[in-house]
Structure 1
Amino acid sequence: MKKRTWRDIDDIALDLAERYPNLDPLAVKTPELKKMIAELPTFGDSPDAASDKALEAIQAAWYNEYED
């Protein structure tokens, strides 16, 4: 399986939704979100390569999954 990068926004959001089904994504602060993503077994990019824009997009996509 190909490891995810910061560009795989929707896939990362799905991974987070599966791993943390009862956690409201909007309650997660940016540094914690970055750490959670880096700890995903499917993630293979450098944690330092994260941009605020990518983190915000992932959080929004995760929230959409959470609401469904």
Structure 2
Amino acid sequence: MDALDWSDRDEIAIELYDNFPDIDPQWISFPDLHSKICNLKNFNGDPNKSNEKILEAIQMLWIEEYK
């Protein structure tokens, strides 16, 4: 798989679902979400380039995967 960056929101959501199947993403905090994304094996984005809007978009996509 190619390296992921913040713009790869759909792919990040899928990776989060695959790596953390027991976590209900509806209840995850943004700091915890940020940490999980930055620690994904294929994530190569700059941790300082995220913001609340990006994290919220990824969280919503992860929720869709989770359902």
RMSD: 0.8
Deviation readout 1:17-62 (Å, 9 max, x if unpaired): 0001111001110001000000000100011100211100000000
* One-letter identity of the residue aligned with 1:31: P
Gaps of 5+ in 1: none
CA distance in structure 1 between the partners assigned to 2:23 and 2:45 by the alignment: 24
Instruction: Provide the TM-score with structure 2 as the length reference.
Output: 0.95
* One-letter identity of the residue aligned with 1:35: S
Partner of 2:17: 17
Is 1:49 the counterpart of 2:19? The answer is no
CA distance in structure 2 between the partners assigned to 1:24 and 1:42 by the alignment: 22
Alignment coverage as a number of residue pairs: 67
Gaps of 5+ in 2: none
CA distance in structure 1 between the partners assigned to 2:18 and 2:42 by the alignment: 12
Partner of 1:59: 59
* One-letter identity of the residue aligned with 1:2: D
4+ long deviations beyond 6 Å: none
Instruction: Provide the TM-score with structure 1 as the length reference.
Output: 0.94
